Structure 1
Amino acid sequence: MRDHNTLARSAVAALLALGLAGGAASVAAADMEKCYGVAKAGKNDCQTANSSCAGTAKEDRMADAFIALPKGSCDKIAGGTTKAPGQ
């Protein structure tokens, strides 16, 4: 049972790593968009004005931190916007 759990965790970690490695490139896909202001602390997809890489947002819902979501999803989330701060 323990080996099965380890294998499952490794598979999930590999999928997450592939998703994070794509970073901004995956956001450029036609069916995805950047959604600002909804990421939890440490769960943003790319750098912010105050942090240098993905996963470094210091607090929940930072205005300049984004996550990639399927188009149209951001508008359904309270506080979410597809416009970067200052746009």
Structure 2
Amino acid sequence: MKTQTLVSSALAAALSLGLVAQAEAQDKAKEKCFGIAKAGQNDCANLSGSHACAGMSKVDNGPEEWKYVAKGSCKSAGGMTADEAKAKLKK
């Protein structure tokens, strides 16, 4: 009985390590894209500092709000880099 529990635990640990590695790889394949988040659909704090949480944007496509997108797809979605968004906010 103990051997079966040990084998099951080892198998579960091995499977979970694979899932963690896959999640990390997916995070690395994403980038922040500013100016494309719809109201209430931003991924985290904004550049202006008016809020610090996901889902708190009040307007659609605010230049200070961002979402994660697949790396390399931000421009085609009509978005900006962080530097471009900061420059737009200064104007």
- Under a length normalisation based on structure 1, what TM-score does the superposition of the two structures give? 0.60
In terms of fraction of residues, the more helix-rich structure is 2
RMSD: 2.0
Equivalent positions of 1:1-87 (< 5 A) are 29-48=27-46, 49-78=49-78, 80-84=79-83, 85-86=85-86
Residue 86 of structure 1 aligns to a residue whose secondary structure is helix
Distance in 2 (alpha carbons) for counterparts of 1:31 and 1:77? 16
Q: Percent of aligned positions with the same letter in both sequences? A: 37
Gaps of 5+ in 1: 1-25
Decide which structure has the larger Cα Rg and report it: 2
Structure 1 residue 83: Cα displacement: 2.1
Gaps of 5+ in 2: 1-23
Spell out structure 1 runs of 4+ moving beyond 3 A.
none
Partner amino acid, structure 1, of 2:80: T
- Under a length normalisation based on structure 2, what TM-score does the superposition of the two structures give? 0.58
Structure 1 residue 51: Cα displacement: 1.6
Distance in 1 (alpha carbons) for counterparts of 2:56 and 2:76? 24
Structure 1 residue 72: Cα displacement: 0.9
Distance in 2 (alpha carbons) for counterparts of 1:86 and 1:59? 17
Distance in 1 (alpha carbons) for counterparts of 2:82 and 2:77? 14
